[in-house]
Amino acid sequence: MNELDSLKIGMAQISPVWLNKEKTIEKIKSYINEAGNKNCDLLVFGESILPGYPFWLSFTGGAEFNSEIQKDFYAHYLTNSVQIEKGDLKDICVLAKKYKLAIYLGIIERAQNRGGHSLYCSLIFIDEKGEIKSVHRKLQPTYEERLVWAAGDGNGLQVHNIKEFCAGGLNCWENWMPLPRTALYGLGENLHIAVWPGAYRNTVDITPFIAKESRSFVVSVSGLMRKEDIPKEMPHYDLIMNSAPDTMADGGSCIAAPDGTWVVEPVIGEERLIVANININKVYEERQNFDPTGHYSRPDVLKLSVNRDRQTSVNYE
Protein backbone atom coordinates (compact mmCIF):
# COMPACT_ATOMS: atom_id res chain seq x y z
CA MET A 1 0.00 0.00 0.00
CA ASN A 2 1.33 3.46 -0.95
CA GLU A 3 1.91 5.49 2.23
CA LEU A 4 0.47 8.53 0.46
CA ASP A 5 -2.91 6.77 0.39
CA SER A 6 -3.28 6.97 4.18
CA LEU A 7 -3.72 10.05 6.31
CA LYS A 8 -3.26 10.38 10.07
CA ILE A 9 -5.67 12.99 11.40
CA GLY A 10 -5.59 14.74 14.75
CA MET A 11 -8.73 16.40 16.12
CA ALA A 12 -7.99 18.91 18.89
CA GLN A 13 -11.17 18.96 20.96
CA ILE A 14 -10.25 21.71 23.41
CA SER A 15 -11.58 24.80 25.14
CA PRO A 16 -9.91 28.13 24.45
CA VAL A 17 -8.52 30.32 27.19
CA TRP A 18 -11.70 32.19 26.50
CA LEU A 19 -11.26 35.49 24.68
CA ASN A 20 -7.55 35.64 25.54
CA LYS A 21 -5.61 35.56 22.28
CA GLU A 22 -2.10 35.12 23.66
CA LYS A 23 -2.92 32.35 26.13
CA THR A 24 -5.10 30.51 23.60
CA ILE A 25 -2.26 30.58 21.06
CA GLU A 26 0.00 28.96 23.64
CA LYS A 27 -2.58 26.22 24.21
CA ILE A 28 -2.96 25.67 20.46
CA LYS A 29 0.82 25.37 20.13
CA SER A 30 0.92 22.68 22.81
CA TYR A 31 -1.57 20.60 20.79
CA ILE A 32 0.41 21.16 17.60
CA ASN A 33 3.47 19.80 19.42
CA GLU A 34 1.49 16.78 20.59
CA ALA A 35 0.08 16.08 17.11
CA GLY A 36 3.50 16.55 15.54
CA ASN A 37 5.12 14.13 17.96
CA LYS A 38 2.41 11.60 17.10
CA ASN A 39 3.26 12.00 13.39
CA CYS A 40 -0.13 13.39 12.37
CA ASP A 41 -0.44 14.62 8.79
CA LEU A 42 -3.38 16.93 9.49
CA LEU A 43 -4.54 18.67 12.68
CA VAL A 44 -7.97 20.31 12.96
CA PHE A 45 -9.26 22.74 15.60
CA GLY A 46 -12.88 23.82 16.14
CA GLU A 47 -14.71 26.90 14.92
CA SER A 48 -13.56 30.25 16.37
CA ILE A 49 -11.29 28.49 18.88
CA LEU A 50 -8.93 31.48 18.67
CA PRO A 51 -9.86 33.33 20.83
CA GLY A 52 -13.33 31.78 21.35
CA TYR A 53 -17.01 31.73 20.47
CA PRO A 54 -19.26 34.68 21.59
CA PHE A 55 -21.26 32.64 24.09
CA TRP A 56 -22.04 35.73 26.19
CA LEU A 57 -24.61 36.92 23.64
CA SER A 58 -27.14 34.26 24.60
CA PHE A 59 -27.31 35.04 28.31
CA THR A 60 -26.39 38.72 28.77
CA GLY A 61 -28.96 40.45 26.55
CA GLY A 62 -26.78 40.50 23.47
CA ALA A 63 -29.48 42.06 21.27
CA GLU A 64 -29.99 45.12 23.49
CA PHE A 65 -29.24 48.10 21.26
CA ASN A 66 -26.55 50.57 22.36
CA SER A 67 -25.87 48.61 25.56
CA GLU A 68 -22.69 49.68 27.33
CA ILE A 69 -22.23 46.12 28.53
CA GLN A 70 -22.38 44.73 24.99
CA LYS A 71 -20.01 47.43 23.79
CA ASP A 72 -17.52 46.37 26.48
CA PHE A 73 -17.76 42.75 25.37
CA TYR A 74 -17.28 43.66 21.70
CA ALA A 75 -14.25 45.87 22.41
CA HIS A 76 -12.66 43.04 24.42
CA TYR A 77 -13.43 40.57 21.61
CA LEU A 78 -11.98 42.92 19.00
CA THR A 79 -8.71 43.47 20.84
CA ASN A 80 -8.27 39.70 21.28
CA SER A 81 -9.12 38.78 17.69
CA VAL A 82 -6.56 37.67 15.11
CA GLN A 83 -4.80 40.10 12.79
CA ILE A 84 -3.18 37.87 10.19
CA GLU A 85 -1.40 40.76 8.49
CA LYS A 86 0.38 41.63 11.75
CA GLY A 87 1.76 38.13 12.19
CA ASP A 88 -0.53 36.80 14.92
CA LEU A 89 -0.31 33.28 13.45
CA LYS A 90 3.45 33.31 12.87
CA ASP A 91 4.37 30.92 15.71
CA ILE A 92 1.65 28.48 14.64
CA CYS A 93 2.98 28.52 11.06
CA VAL A 94 6.52 27.88 12.31
CA LEU A 95 5.37 24.77 14.18
CA ALA A 96 3.38 23.53 11.18
CA LYS A 97 6.57 23.72 9.10
CA LYS A 98 8.64 22.06 11.85
CA TYR A 99 6.39 19.00 11.97
CA LYS A 100 5.37 19.08 8.27
CA LEU A 101 1.82 19.23 9.58
CA ALA A 102 -1.18 20.70 7.73
CA ILE A 103 -3.61 22.58 9.98
CA TYR A 104 -7.21 23.78 9.81
CA LEU A 105 -7.77 26.42 12.49
CA GLY A 106 -10.92 28.36 13.34
CA ILE A 107 -10.24 31.99 14.24
CA ILE A 108 -11.98 35.29 14.78
CA GLU A 109 -10.39 37.47 12.14
CA ARG A 110 -10.00 41.23 12.42
CA ALA A 111 -9.76 41.84 8.70
CA GLN A 112 -7.47 44.70 7.71
CA ASN A 113 -8.88 44.86 4.17
CA ARG A 114 -12.33 45.61 5.61
CA GLY A 115 -11.12 48.49 7.78
CA GLY A 116 -9.85 46.53 10.77
CA HIS A 117 -12.83 46.94 13.10
CA SER A 118 -15.24 44.23 11.93
CA LEU A 119 -14.93 40.57 12.85
CA TYR A 120 -15.18 37.48 10.67
CA CYS A 121 -15.48 33.85 11.69
CA SER A 122 -12.69 32.45 9.54
CA LEU A 123 -11.30 29.00 8.82
CA ILE A 124 -7.58 29.08 8.09
CA PHE A 125 -5.66 26.43 6.18
CA ILE A 126 -1.91 26.21 6.84
CA ASP A 127 0.02 23.72 4.71
CA GLU A 128 2.87 21.45 5.76
CA LYS A 129 5.37 24.14 4.73
CA GLY A 130 3.87 26.54 7.28
CA GLU A 131 2.21 28.76 4.68
CA ILE A 132 -1.32 30.15 5.01
CA LYS A 133 -3.03 29.00 1.81
CA SER A 134 -6.63 30.10 2.35
CA VAL A 135 -8.77 32.18 4.71
CA HIS A 136 -12.44 31.26 4.46
CA ARG A 137 -14.71 33.87 6.05
CA LYS A 138 -18.02 32.37 7.14
CA LEU A 139 -20.59 33.22 4.48
CA GLN A 140 -23.56 33.65 6.82
CA PRO A 141 -23.27 34.03 10.60
CA THR A 142 -26.04 32.16 12.42
CA TYR A 143 -28.73 33.88 14.49
CA GLU A 144 -27.12 35.73 17.45
CA GLU A 145 -23.68 35.48 15.78
CA ARG A 146 -24.83 38.28 13.46
CA LEU A 147 -24.61 40.66 16.43
CA VAL A 148 -20.79 40.42 16.38
CA TRP A 149 -19.68 38.72 13.14
CA ALA A 150 -19.82 40.20 9.64
CA ALA A 151 -20.83 38.15 6.58
CA GLY A 152 -17.94 36.72 4.59
CA ASP A 153 -17.41 35.98 0.91
CA GLY A 154 -16.53 33.15 -1.47
CA ASN A 155 -12.80 33.77 -1.65
CA GLY A 156 -12.01 31.00 0.81
CA LEU A 157 -14.02 28.29 -0.95
CA GLN A 158 -10.80 26.48 -1.78
CA VAL A 159 -9.47 22.94 -1.57
CA HIS A 160 -5.96 21.77 -0.68
CA ASN A 161 -3.99 18.62 -1.44
CA ILE A 162 -2.75 16.61 1.54
CA LYS A 163 -1.04 13.47 0.26
CA GLU A 164 -3.64 11.82 -2.02
CA PHE A 165 -6.52 13.63 -0.35
CA CYS A 166 -8.21 16.84 -1.48
CA ALA A 167 -9.47 18.73 1.58
CA GLY A 168 -11.93 21.60 1.92
CA GLY A 169 -13.67 23.10 4.92
CA LEU A 170 -16.73 24.99 6.14
CA ASN A 171 -17.75 26.65 9.39
CA CYS A 172 -20.61 25.26 11.52
CA TRP A 173 -24.03 25.79 9.92
CA GLU A 174 -22.42 26.53 6.53
CA ASN A 175 -22.25 22.75 6.40
CA TRP A 176 -26.05 22.71 6.13
CA MET A 177 -25.87 24.91 2.99
CA PRO A 178 -26.04 22.71 -0.15
CA LEU A 179 -24.37 25.18 -2.50
CA PRO A 180 -21.13 25.81 -0.55
CA ARG A 181 -20.80 22.04 -0.16
CA THR A 182 -21.31 21.64 -3.91
CA ALA A 183 -18.70 24.31 -4.62
CA LEU A 184 -16.13 22.23 -2.75
CA TYR A 185 -17.26 18.94 -4.30
CA GLY A 186 -16.76 20.45 -7.74
CA LEU A 187 -13.14 21.25 -6.90
CA GLY A 188 -12.47 17.58 -6.21
CA GLU A 189 -12.95 17.52 -2.44
CA ASN A 190 -12.82 14.02 -0.94
CA LEU A 191 -12.01 15.03 2.66
CA HIS A 192 -14.54 17.45 4.10
CA ILE A 193 -13.60 19.42 7.22
CA ALA A 194 -16.54 20.70 9.29
CA VAL A 195 -15.66 22.86 12.30
CA TRP A 196 -18.06 23.70 15.14
CA PRO A 197 -18.03 25.63 18.43
CA GLY A 198 -19.10 22.37 20.05
CA ALA A 199 -22.38 20.46 20.14
CA TYR A 200 -23.08 16.75 19.79
CA ARG A 201 -26.57 17.63 18.51
CA ASN A 202 -24.97 19.28 15.46
CA THR A 203 -22.32 16.74 14.54
CA VAL A 204 -24.15 13.46 15.13
CA ASP A 205 -26.54 13.77 12.18
CA ILE A 206 -24.83 15.94 9.61
CA THR A 207 -21.42 14.26 9.67
CA PRO A 208 -22.61 10.92 8.22
CA PHE A 209 -25.13 12.75 6.01
CA ILE A 210 -22.42 14.79 4.26
CA ALA A 211 -20.28 11.66 3.98
CA LYS A 212 -23.07 9.80 2.18
CA GLU A 213 -23.93 12.77 -0.03
CA SER A 214 -20.35 13.48 -1.06
CA ARG A 215 -18.91 9.96 -0.83
CA SER A 216 -16.04 11.59 1.09
CA PHE A 217 -14.51 11.31 4.52
CA VAL A 218 -15.99 13.95 6.83
CA VAL A 219 -14.08 15.23 9.86
CA SER A 220 -16.20 17.22 12.32
CA VAL A 221 -14.17 18.98 15.01
CA SER A 222 -15.77 20.80 17.92
CA GLY A 223 -14.61 22.88 20.84
CA LEU A 224 -15.48 22.72 24.51
CA MET A 225 -16.72 25.48 26.80
CA ARG A 226 -17.65 25.07 30.45
CA LYS A 227 -18.37 27.55 33.19
CA GLU A 228 -14.97 26.91 34.76
CA ASP A 229 -13.33 27.96 31.45
CA ILE A 230 -14.44 31.59 31.93
CA PRO A 231 -11.39 33.69 32.98
CA LYS A 232 -11.82 36.00 35.96
CA GLU A 233 -10.35 38.91 33.99
CA MET A 234 -13.30 38.84 31.58
CA PRO A 235 -15.37 42.05 31.45
CA HIS A 236 -18.52 41.69 33.55
CA TYR A 237 -17.30 38.39 34.98
CA ASP A 238 -19.94 38.29 37.72
CA LEU A 239 -22.76 38.88 35.23
CA ILE A 240 -21.54 36.01 33.06
CA MET A 241 -21.07 33.62 35.97
CA ASN A 242 -24.53 34.36 37.33
CA SER A 243 -26.25 33.69 34.00
CA ALA A 244 -24.11 31.19 32.09
CA PRO A 245 -25.08 27.49 31.95
CA ASP A 246 -22.60 24.96 33.33
CA THR A 247 -21.84 23.69 29.80
CA MET A 248 -21.96 25.84 26.68
CA ALA A 249 -20.16 23.46 24.31
CA ASP A 250 -19.87 19.71 24.88
CA GLY A 251 -17.68 18.65 21.93
CA GLY A 252 -18.96 15.95 19.60
CA SER A 253 -15.87 15.63 17.38
CA CYS A 254 -16.10 12.64 15.03
CA ILE A 255 -15.17 11.18 11.65
CA ALA A 256 -17.48 9.46 9.15
CA ALA A 257 -16.35 7.29 6.26
CA PRO A 258 -17.62 7.81 2.68
CA ASP A 259 -20.36 5.22 3.25
CA GLY A 260 -21.62 7.09 6.33
CA THR A 261 -20.27 4.65 8.89
CA TRP A 262 -18.29 5.90 11.87
CA VAL A 263 -14.50 5.96 11.85
CA VAL A 264 -14.66 7.83 15.17
CA GLU A 265 -18.00 8.17 16.94
CA PRO A 266 -18.79 11.57 18.52
CA VAL A 267 -16.62 12.23 21.57
CA ILE A 268 -18.52 14.06 24.31
CA GLY A 269 -17.08 16.26 27.04
CA GLU A 270 -13.46 15.12 26.80
CA GLU A 271 -10.64 17.59 26.25
CA ARG A 272 -7.96 15.75 24.30
CA LEU A 273 -6.29 15.08 20.98
CA ILE A 274 -8.25 12.43 19.08
CA VAL A 275 -6.21 10.58 16.44
CA ALA A 276 -7.44 8.36 13.59
CA ASN A 277 -6.19 6.97 10.28
CA ILE A 278 -8.08 7.02 6.99
CA ASN A 279 -7.35 5.58 3.56
CA ILE A 280 -8.19 7.11 0.18
CA ASN A 281 -9.26 3.77 -1.30
CA LYS A 282 -12.55 3.94 0.61
CA VAL A 283 -13.39 7.12 -1.35
CA TYR A 284 -12.66 5.39 -4.64
CA GLU A 285 -14.89 2.45 -3.72
CA GLU A 286 -17.88 4.64 -2.83
CA ARG A 287 -17.56 6.84 -5.94
CA GLN A 288 -18.24 3.76 -8.08
CA ASN A 289 -22.01 4.19 -7.83
CA PHE A 290 -22.36 7.88 -6.93
CA ASP A 291 -20.30 11.01 -7.55
CA PRO A 292 -22.29 14.24 -6.92
CA THR A 293 -20.38 16.52 -9.29
CA GLY A 294 -19.04 13.77 -11.58
CA HIS A 295 -20.83 10.91 -13.30
CA TYR A 296 -24.02 11.41 -11.27
CA SER A 297 -24.38 15.10 -12.13
CA ARG A 298 -26.22 16.79 -15.00
CA PRO A 299 -24.43 20.09 -15.72
CA ASP A 300 -26.47 20.47 -18.89
CA VAL A 301 -29.53 20.91 -16.61
CA LEU A 302 -28.16 22.18 -13.27
CA LYS A 303 -25.00 24.21 -12.77
CA LEU A 304 -23.57 26.32 -9.92
CA SER A 305 -21.76 29.64 -10.38
CA VAL A 306 -19.39 30.75 -7.58
CA ASN A 307 -18.01 34.25 -6.99
CA ARG A 308 -14.63 33.85 -5.28
CA ASP A 309 -13.66 37.53 -5.31
CA ARG A 310 -12.50 38.90 -1.96
CA GLN A 311 -15.07 41.55 -1.14
CA THR A 312 -13.86 45.02 -0.13
CA SER A 313 -15.68 48.27 0.49
CA VAL A 314 -13.12 50.44 -1.33
CA ASN A 315 -11.12 49.80 -4.48
CA TYR A 316 -8.04 51.99 -4.84
CA GLU A 317 -6.73 52.74 -8.33
Judge if the upstream peptide bond of residue 51 is cis by omega within 30 degrees of 0. yes
Q: How many other C-beta atoms are found inside a 10 Å radius of the C-beta of residue 235?
A: 16
Q: Which of 21, 40, 138, 189 is catalytic?
A: 138
Choosing from 47, 145, 189, 286, the catalytic residue is: 47
What is d(CA 91, CA 130) in angstroms, rounded to the nearest whole number? Answer: 10
Q: Which of 40, 93, 121, 172 is catalytic?
A: 172
DSSP secondary structure letters along 212-229: HHHTSEEEEEE-EEEGGG
Q: Is 40 a residue of the active site? A: no
Q: Catalytic annotation on 138?
A: yes
- Amino acid letter, 53: Y
Residues 6+ positions from 188 with CB-CB distance below 8 Å: 159, 166
Taking the mean position of all CA atoms in its chain, how far away is CA 309?
A: 21
Longest dimension (CA), the chain: 61
Q: What angle do CA 222, 171, 239 make, to 5 degrees?
A: 65
Cα separation, 260 vs 36, whole angstroms: 28
Distance CA 23, CA 15 (A): 12
Active-site residue 98, yes or no? no
Rg (CA), the chain: 19
Report the distance separating Cα 110 and Cα 84, nearest Å: 8
Residues serving a catalytic function are 47, 138, 172
